[in-house]
Amino acid sequence: MTKTLLALTLGEQLPVGDWVCISQADIDLFAKATNDHQWIHVDPQRCKKESPFGTTIAHGYLTVTLMPNSLYQSIQPDPTYKSLLNYGVDKIRFIEPVRAGDKIRFISTLIKTEQKASGMLFYFETVAEIEGRDKPAMKGVFLTLLAGA
């Protein structure tokens, strides 16, 4: 059952979202958008021969950019406060590469709230799991502002 942000309690884990498959097409689009065409991301043939992973890997920041959508799917919109804004990321670490074809999902826990002049700021400790692997792709603290709250 989803809740509004203001109904969450410290230490509460959000509902875990669905697995998201990271395709080579996704990686290529991200490379185009960011102008980061390093071969480890966009050259499957070279990766088969030279990469320790045997395939292309997603940009770490591609994983980061997928987290807000997971958050939006895990909370109930608040009819009183309609503006939900990304406020930043603290302490982000890329632990395990996401290979083309991997599936990831996000597990987020509310660890802190802070009242700002512009609204309530929520801090979520978040891990991006990779299906079938022990190590997560990423860990970080994501900040979300509920404007006006």
Which tens digit of pLDDT belongs to each residue from 86-142?
999 999 999 999 999 999 999 999 999 999 999 999 999 999 999 999 999 999 999
pLDDT computed for residue 78 by the predictor: 86
77: pLDDT strictly greater than 90: no
Are the beta carbons of 78 and 146 closer than 8 angstroms? Answer: yes
**Helical packing angle, 24-34 and 60-74, nearest 10°:** 110
In this structure, the chain runs to a length of: 149
Beta partners for 142? 89, 124
Give backbone dihedrals phi and psi of 85, rounded to 5 degrees, phi first: -120, 140
Q: Amino acid identity, residue 63?
A: T
CB atoms within 10 A of CB 129: 19
What dotted CATH number matches 5-22+58-147? Answer: 3.10.129.10
Is pLDDT of 1 > 80?
no
Structure tokens at 79: 């009819």
State how far the Cα of 111 lies from the Cα of 134, in Å rounded to an integer: 23
- Asked whether the beta carbons of 48 and 54 are under 8 A apart, the reply is yes
pLDDT digits (tens, 9 = 90+) for 19-55: 999 999 999 999 999 999 999 999 999 999 999 999 9
E strand or H helix that includes residue 103: strand 103-116
